[in-house]
Amino acid sequence: MRARIRRTTRRATAVGAALAAAGLNLAGTPSAAAADRASFDVTVAATYYRGTIEFYNRSVIVDGVLRGLSTGCRRGGAWAYDAGGYPLAHKTTSLVCNGAVERDIPLSWDVPGGASSVVVDLLDADGNLLKYCVLSRGYEYCEVT
């Protein structure tokens, strides 16, 4: 009976140690965790750019699905702004003309602190703005305007 208790105790200790180690590895470093996360959906007729926006200390990642059609090719765009309203970074995706495709926009800058707001654009094939949404850091959804 004592051998069985020792075996169970050793097994429980081993499992506890493994879980603790896994927990530490899964948690990662604090700088790697997203400070804020929000969703966006910019739609014009049957085309759209929708997904999530993640704020970090010196970057923002716009992670979404862009849908374009042969009759209406689309690009996604994103701008990051500081608290004073000055642009920190801007990028656009490649053109999509054949359905829904994963398109991410990583924005980064070499300025301490994070972006205060992000604007996500839906653009036509020529780069003309069709619709956009504005997200202030700390909110859960990008407001379409």
Bridge partners of residue 62, in order along the sequence: 53, 105
Residues 2-54: pLDDT tens digits?
554 444 444 444 434 433 444 433 333 334 445 589 999 999 999 999 999 99
133 and 91 housed in the same domain? yes
Structure tokens belonging to residue 33: 């965790």
Residues 16-29: pLDDT tens digits?
443 344 443 333 33
Within the chain, where are the H helices?
Answer: 2-27
Q: What is the CA radius of gyration of the chain?
A: 22
Residues with Cβ within 8 Å of 44's Cβ and at least 6 positions away in sequence, in order, are: 122, 130, 131
Tell me the pTM: 0.74
73 and 8 housed in the same domain? no
39 and 67 housed in the same domain? yes
Residues 70-106: pLDDT tens digits?
999 999 999 999 999 999 999 999 999 999 999 999 9
Domain with 1, as residue range(s), is 1-31
Number of independent structural domains in the chain = 2
